[in-house]
Structure 1
């Protein structure tokens, strides 16, 4: 009777521990899917925390809505058209055979390009600031994920530390086998 109660308590403890344990730690028959998809355990654990936390969910929503690409692309498209123009204009200059006219037009293009470079300097600085801020956000976001998931892996490690007895048993068997092999090996 006490064995049934003990077994029942142990089953309840295991079930309770497993229900609290992140799904990312669940054993899978083939775990190579994690590697194939490019997911990692930190991301999986963090996503489970996000699913349980309105604050983290809100943060992740804000991060996904902060789409710097739209703003950045406006500048890059604008800049690319201008750079394309000056490149193409320089190519057109090669069609001019009058050397005096060719030099005047080259000077005109150079002057216009210099004016453009000066004109876009403030925007370029703003773009650099956006990129630096994005890097800072990414750094802190990665740090947040690691810091929040360390307790989960430490709890898993504590709860699932394998018992030493089977390993010690294997070592004893290996010692016996080693002695047996050593004893029957002819002297050389």
Structure 2
């Protein structure tokens, strides 16, 4: 058993040291120059969204894209600011009615409790009618924001697809090293099978 382990270890060490030199062309191939205008995007930063990273590189070189991206950013910011004002009022009113119902439940006098709960309900329903149009408009605004996001995402994908294709063409993956390594594995397998 020790003999088998020793032979196997030697073969592995030999294979690993040899493969360092043979794998070098693939590593060099990975950093070859490319015609892509965004080759810096393909560097480090695996956690980043590659589409956004490539697109931000494209923006640096294209004034029209930069203007469009700024317009999108301003639209998101304005939308958020406009909605925030309405949401503050709507949320405070909703919180008030929730608190009022909670407090009404603590009233022990059943007749008084019923009157207060009825008043809360009437006020809440009256307010719901008052804000119905506003809620519909906010809903429409949310749907428009979703559509804008959809179209802009599709646009960014289309723009960056060309760049990833340039990158792929500039970095073709060859099978040479993989095939050589499979040959070594097969030789090792034959050696291991013949061990007694």
Q: Same fold (TM over 0.5)?
A: yes
Q: Summarize the Cα distance change of 1:165–1:117 in structure 2 as closer, same or farther, 3 Å threshold.
A: same
Q: Which runs of 5+ in 1 are unaligned?
A: 1-13
Q: Summarize the Cα distance change of 1:101–1:169 in structure 2 as closer, same or farther, 3 Å threshold.
A: closer
Q: Summarize the Cα distance change of 1:99–1:167 in structure 2 as closer, same or farther, 3 Å threshold.
A: closer
Q: Give TM-score scaled by structure 1 length.
A: 0.74
User: Structure 1 residue 24 and structure 2 residue 75: aligned?
Assistant: no
Preserved contact between residue 41 and residue 50 of structure 2 (Cα < 8 Å): yes
Deviation at 1:117, TM superposition (A): 0.5
Q: Give TM-score scaled by structure 2 length.
A: 0.71
User: Structure 1 residue 155 and structure 2 residue 158: aligned?
Assistant: no
Instruction: Name segments (4+ residues, structure 1) moved above 6 Å.
Output: none
Taking the aligned partners of 2:102 and 2:38, their CA distance within structure 1 comes to: 66
Deviations 1:139-167 (Å, cap 9, x if unpaired)? 22222222211121122112111333222
Specify the alignment match of 1:113 in structure 2: 124
Q: Considering only aligned residues, what root-mean-square deviation do their CA atoms show, in Å?
A: 2.4
Specify the alignment match of 1:142 in structure 2: 153
Taking the aligned partners of 1:21 and 1:104, their CA distance within structure 2 comes to: 69
Higher RCO by CA contacts (8 Å cutoff, separation 6 or greater) = 2
Taking the aligned partners of 2:87 and 2:156, their CA distance within structure 1 comes to: 32
Deviations 1:42-87 (Å, cap 9, x if unpaired)? 1111111111111211111011111211111111111122123323
Aligned equivalent of 1:132, options 135, 143, 158: 143
